[in-house]
Amino acid sequence: MASGADEAIGVAAGLVRMSFLVQGVYARVADHHDLTPAQAKLLCILAERPRGMAELAGLFGVEKAALTGLVDRAERRGLAVRAAVPGDRRAVRVTLTESGNRAAAAFHHDVSAELDDLVAELPQTERDMFRRSLARIIQTHRVPPVFPAAAQQPTAPAVCRPHSGD
């Protein structure tokens, strides 16, 4: 079997292996910030804007009831708050607190730096092509943004979706 840059790899296998690599970085950085990967994902999603529980459940791919514990823990840590939606007694919107915004920004900064390091050895033209390919795939599959555009670096696509476990 070939090694290094000469290794032949299929797209599916490459994407799976890349997801393992990204999830490992994501989990390690989350742990460094005293977050679970699911808590980091919640902060990243809420950094863009407040979300309703049903919308959050859809983004996590779980039922609303399964998301309740995660939001409860974020509230207990002072990272997020729930508030009633005016005009709808049953609806709740989740928003980051100032502490949650700081934690989300710090996590985003550190995970972006580590993920940028993964492609640092590629020549600039290959990094640019990789970034454009990522953007096209993300756009084609309508992956929602998870950080305000101002927080994203041109070489650091939204980074907060790789892991859904709590």
Where exactly are the structural domains of the chain? Answer: 35-151
Angle ∠(104,122,136) on CA atoms, nearest 5? 60
Query: 80: which strand partners?
Result: 96
Q: Which amino acid is at 136?
A: R
Average pLDDT, the chain: 87
Predicted confidence band at 147 (pLDDT cuts at 50, 70, 90)? low
**Per-residue pLDDT tens digits for 54-106:** 999 999 999 988 899 999 999 999 999 999 988 888 899 999 999 999 999 99
Strands of 40-136, DSSP E: 51-52, 80-85, 88-96
Q: Give the largest CA-CA distance in the chain.
A: 63
In this structure, how many other beta carbons lie within 10 angstroms of the beta carbon of residue 84? Answer: 11
Predicted confidence band at 7 (pLDDT cuts at 50, 70, 90)? confident
Query: 88: which strand partners?
Result: 85
**Per-residue pLDDT tens digits for 98-141:** 999 999 999 999 999 999 999 999 999 999 999 999 999 999 99
**Percentage of the chain with pLDDT > 90?**
73
Predicted confidence band at 4 (pLDDT cuts at 50, 70, 90)? low
- Report the CATH fold assignment for 35-151: Arc Repressor Mutant, subunit A (1.10.10)
| H or E, element range at 69 | helix 64-76
Contact yes or no for 94/51 (Cβ under 8 A): yes
**Looking at residue 162, what is its pLDDT?**
45
**Per-residue pLDDT tens digits for 26-50:** 999 999 999 999 999 999 999 989 9
The answer to pTM > 0.75 is: yes
